[in-house]
Amino acid sequence: MKKHQRSKEEGAVKLIRKANELVEARYRFDIWETRVFAKMLTLIKPDDEALRLYDIHVGDLLRDFNLQDAGDNYQAVKQAAKKLISRVIEIEKDTPEGVKWYAVPLLAGAQGFREARRGNYISVQFHPELKPYLLELKERYLQYDIRNLWGLSSVYSVRIYELLKQYERIGKRNFSLDDLRLRLAVQPEEYKLYGHFKDKIILKAQTDLREFTDISFSFDEQKEGRRVVALTFFIHANNGRGIPTPKQERPVQRAGKGGVEENQGLEDIYAQVKPWGVTESTLKSLLHKHGEERVRQGVVCTQDNQKQQKVKDNIGGFFVKAVEEGWKSTQQLKQERAAEKRRQAEETRAQALAELARWEERLEDLLTARRTDANEVIRLLTQSDPFLAAEAVNKIMNHRTFRKSLEKSTGLDLGKLQMDDWRYNKPLRDAVIAQIEVLRPESFKEVQAKFDANVLQSRKAVEGLRKKI
């Protein structure tokens, strides 16, 4: 859906407030459900003593999310509200007995006109069990302006924004990878490879938050061996973007000694570029046009070229052009190439792991099917020769090397076992089956022809991939 081209300064402040437990809760919404939920939160008044029936006018919702009218928005909002009735939120609560989970429906109900022309709005009501997490909030709650969600079309970006916004004053937040997937309600079959999870969710959210909200983030990966097991997010104020809430308003702008606004933390940039002849107005213009990250990149690029004596005259002009054209220093380019190389290596390994999993699954399926067919052959053989299994056990017991290997792998003393022990212990049973196949090879020719070539191919593929990884 297209966005309105309008300034974030338009419109009144509409705050979303909810208890931290609700932010941390586990639930899975689509983007329209997320918008309806967020809009409902803005309709709660600080002095509300009960959860009322809230009217959501479609036009207001479109304006709140900076969306154009596509003609079918009433149906989209209606369907989202109906789906929210069936959504259950799982909240964790600290109790004297320990942490307990608590599941509660989101909505008590929803209603509206069958035809949008009769009334282009729907009425919705939170489930009363959510009252402690929405009303009379005194502490441990999150508050932000809904306009921070304007440009977010990914439900994962919305969730990551809220999870990090909670920790904005702390400046960082840690998640194990499994915990983060759980909090974002990523299904087990979705984004199984970390590389896909990173590209589609983490990097997407990083771009979205930097472009549209009042915070941004960088992150570090913690690994066990080569596997990423945890992430540390470093949370930054996104100066000049997003909408501050009353509790987190930016300080009133004031001029520092050099004239640059100290509240934006950019006086250090001006201190660096002023000796190059860059004026305050030029720096402000560059910051407004390209953003702080690009300007700092230009500073590093200029300093790098100074050290290498590639630029001596008109350093300020070089800096301005570096910012405008996005030049990068040699060190920055090396770091980016190294990061890209690491990303490609990680992606290659992830692909190899996925390929290995497929071959391992194929091998296991083949072995299971072969074992089933072989068991049927053995059933017929042992019916005609009741002593065949005992003969196979004796062969194993008399083969010193094989016996010792089997005892080592199972931790059993084979000399103390009864016949039934061989039948009900899987490694021993498999050894007997294999020995019977050696004793009666002609009976297994059909099984061998059906499976063994494919089993051998799968084993080789698995071994080869394991060596690569």
387 SS3 class:
coil
Mean pLDDT of 237-248: 52
Q: Give the pLDDT band (50/70/90) at residue 162.
A: very high
Burial of 15 (0-12, 13-18, 19+ CB in 10 A): middle
What's the mean per-residue pLDDT of the chain?
84
How high is the pLDDT of residue 429?
Answer: 85
The whole-angstrom separation of Cα 464 and Cα 453 is 17
Class at the top of the CATH hierarchy for domain 1-139: mainly alpha
Domain boundaries, the chain: 1-139, 151-250, 251-328, 355-468
Question: Which tens digit of pLDDT belongs to each residue from 20-32?
Answer: 999 999 998 988 9
Closest Cα partner for 291 from 237, 241, 250? Answer: 241
The whole-angstrom separation of Cα 187 and Cα 182 is 8
Q: Give the pLDDT band (50/70/90) at residue 247.
A: very low
Sign of the dihedral defined by the CA atoms of residues 377, 381, 386, 388, in that order:
negative
Does residue 257 carry a pLDDT above 70? Answer: no
Burial of 58 (0-12, 13-18, 19+ CB in 10 A): buried
Q: Which residue has better confidence, 1 or 251?
A: 1
Average the pLDDT over each of 177-186, 299-308, 342-351, 450-459 and give the range with the smallest value.
342-351
- Judge whether 155 and 203 are in contact, CB under 8 Å: no
Please indicate whether the domains covering 1-139 and 151-250 agree at the CATH topology level: yes
Q: What percent of the chain has pLDDT over 70?
A: 90
Q: CATH classification of 151-250, choosing from 1.20.120.530, 2.40.280.10, 1.10.10.10, 3.40.50.1950?
A: 1.10.10.10
Q: What is the pTM of this model?
A: 0.51
Closest Cα partner for 343 from 207, 465, 221? Answer: 221
Q: Cβ neighbours of residue 237 under 8 Å, at least 6 residues apart? A: 168, 214, 215, 265
Q: Cβ neighbours of residue 413 under 8 Å, at least 6 residues apart? A: 407
Question: Which tens digit of pLDDT belongs to each residue from 94-148?
Answer: 777 877 888 999 999 888 876 655 568 899 999 999 999 999 887 789 999 999 9
Q: Give the pLDDT band (50/70/90) at residue 241.
A: low
Closest Cα partner for 294 from 254, 235, 214, 240? Answer: 240
The whole-angstrom separation of Cα 422 and Cα 410 is 12
DSSP 246: G
The whole-angstrom separation of Cα 33 and Cα 79 is 9
Closest Cα partner for 108 from 133, 85, 79, 82? Answer: 85
Q: Cβ neighbours of residue 422 under 8 Å, at least 6 residues apart? A: 389, 393, 428, 429, 432
> Cα-flanking dihedrals φ and ψ of residue 98, to 5°?
130, -175
How high is the pLDDT of residue 226?
Answer: 85
Residue 56: count other Cβ atoms within 10 Å of its Cβ. 22
Question: Diameter of the chain by CA atoms?
Answer: 102
Alpha-carbon Rg for the chain, nearest whole angstrom, is: 32
The whole-angstrom separation of Cα 180 and Cα 164 is 12
